[in-house]
A = this chain, B = another copy of it.
Amino acid sequence: MSFDLQAYLLRQTAAVDRALNRFLPPAGAKPATIHRAMRYSIFAGGKRIRPALCLAGAEACGGRLEDALPLACAVECIHTYSLIHDDLPAMDDDDLRRGKPTNHKVFGEGIAILAGDALLTGAFAIAVQCKGWPRYNHRDIILELARAAGSTQLIAGQVADLEGEGKKIPASHLRYIHERKTSALLCCAVRLGGMSANCPPGQLQALTDFGYNVGLAFQIIDDILDVTQTSEQLGKTAGKDTAAAKATYPSIVGMKESRRIAARLTGRAFRALRIFKNRAPALEALAEFLLKRDK
């Protein structure tokens, strides 16, 4: 493949980091603790997968980077808030994230809860920094974001995950969890990219199919890496799904079948991109990268 994904990711990540730095209150804003805590997790070296997918979605539909940036940043704020809250002792109780101590380990539980709340709240303020388009106005944008992050999607996934711990669950229920915990927000990121380009309904549907399948594959691969990699390789606690007696694809359908399913979903994601002809090289490269990654 001639597309240079590494260079592309470096460029997009730099643009996203600059924009996040601009959109978030400065580190010195009062009260300093909360703004330091928000920035600690936002700038903890995340892979910026969701923003990259959002920007690449916009590009595939002929949109401009600057029009998609507020939406890419809003999605990353929501992703980061969900990690901070998921890591809390009352949830997954994790000490390590992206190779660093988790937010509550550094700032304490109270501030970590509030930093998550503040990033979630801020995400909506950042999202409406986009200009709005004939097909997708600010109301559509907010509904898209709130739905993906809300009680029937992202939060539903975390609830089902909490409630499923230590239980034997069927593969269909695990899929329900993964669709909500991971696929919903990834899919939302790509769709918002398309919406920022005022894309026609057919393209939005293609982005939806792409995002859904990539998101599900992404989480299955996360399950696989949790078993096969060390904490050092992952930058977060490895083997924690097994330790928490969490259902994962490898534990339910086996490692070989898990890899097969991930590859099949990635195939579907690629096929969804056909509508863009050769105008979606970044989305293709991202999907390939996400399937083959080792952390």
Q: Is the CB of A90 within 8 A of B117?
A: no
Q: Given B31, B114, B139, which contacts A132 in the complex, CB threshold below 8 Å?
A: B139
B-contact bits for A6-45, CB 8 A (1 contact / 0 none): 0000000000000000000100011101110010000000
**Interface flag for A290 (CB, 8 Å):** no
Report copies per complex: 2
Task: Check A110/B155 contact, CB under 8 A, given A143-B125, A150-B121.
Answer: no
A201 contacts partner chain B, Cβ-Cβ < 8 Å: no
Residues of B within 8 A of A147 (CB): 125
Closest to A131 in B: B139
Residue tally, chain A, CB below 8 Å to B: 49
A88 within 8 A of B: yes
Is B124 within 8 A of A110, CB to CB? no
Q: How far is the CA of A88 from the CA of B114 in the complex (A)?
A: 11
* Chain B, residue nearest A157 (CB): B31
What chain B residues lie within 8 Å of A151 (beta carbons)? 25, 29, 34-35, 38, 118, 121-122
Interface centre among A25, A111, A116, A146 (most CB of B within 10 A): A146
Give A254 Cβ to nearest chain B Cβ, in Å.
27
A155-B88 contact in complex given A31-B163, A143-B128, C-beta closer than 8 Å = no
Q: Is A156 an interface residue (CB 8 A)?
A: yes
Chain A interface main SS type = helix
- A124 partner residues in chain B, CB cutoff 8 A: 124, 142, 145-146
- B110 engages A162 (CB within 8 Å): yes
Measured in the bound complex, the distance between the Cα atoms of B13 and A238 in whole Å is: 50
Within 8 Å by CB of A113, from B29, B85, B108, B145, lies: B85
Evaluate contact between B25 and A152: CB separation under 8 angstroms: yes
Q: Which residues of A contact B (CB under 8 A)?
A: 25, 29-31, 33-35, 38, 81, 85, 88, 90-91, 108-111, 113-114, 116-118, 120-122, 124-125, 127-128, 132, 137-139, 142-143, 145-147, 149-152, 155-156, 158-160, 162-163
Q: Which 10 A-B pairs have the closest CB atoms?
A: A90-B109, A125-B146, A118-B151, A138-B138, A128-B139, A90-B110, A31-B159, A124-B124, A121-B150, A34-B159
27 interchain pairs, CB-CB under 8 A: A25-B152, A30-B152, A31-B159, A34-B156, A38-B151, A81-B117, A85-B114, A90-B108, A90-B110, A90-B113, A111-B162, A114-B159, A117-B117, A117-B155, A120-B121, A121-B146, A121-B149, A122-B146, A122-B150, A122-B151, A124-B142, A124-B145, A125-B142, A125-B150, A128-B142, A137-B138, A142-B142
